Structure 1
Amino acid sequence: MSQYNIAQAKAQFSELVQRALAGEEVVIARDNRPLLRLMPLATTGKPRAPGSAKTLVKSIAADFDAPLDDLAEYR
């Protein structure tokens, strides 16, 4: 674990980000009291691909694009 005060963290922010991405625990402190931990976000899995839900839509109603009656006064 590496601990840095706020002034050091500001001066070396890019380096601290790289260390955190490499798996090192980086703690930022004020007056030698830890305030926060710098760590990478967890990935949510594989990225979404365009068209990946294409086979999930079985049918669409014939009037899908028709104007709604509730909104007639706004037309």
Structure 2
Amino acid sequence: MAQFSVRDAKIHLSKLIADALQGGDVVITRGSVPVVRLVPVAPGGQRRFGTLKGKIAVDARFDEPLPENELGGWNLT
């Protein structure tokens, strides 16, 4: 994770944007406290399928019905 002060971020904003677009983790700090993370915006708000491939897993029990004690918390009407 690359951290930059607000002052440095102002000076190097174009480079930081390029880094974030390439997948870099860019964090802007005030003093030594991280306050903002610079992340790219998906074009047109469109989702890109496969971006979480290998990062998450679905348990084999995913499609099984919920137990009665958990169903009680859902408003299914």
| Correspondence for 2:21 | 21
Runs of 5+ consecutive residues of structure 2 not aligned to the other structure: 49-77
Instruction: Give the SS at the match of 2:20.
Output: helix
TM-score (norm 1): 0.57
Number of matched pairs: 46
RMSD: 1.6
Give % identity.
Answer: 39
Runs (4+) of structure 1 moved beyond 2 Å? none
| Correspondence for 1:33 | 33
Larger Rg belongs to: 1
Instruction: Give the SS at the match of 1:41.
Output: coil
Runs of 5+ consecutive residues of structure 1 not aligned to the other structure: 47-75
TM-score (norm 2): 0.56
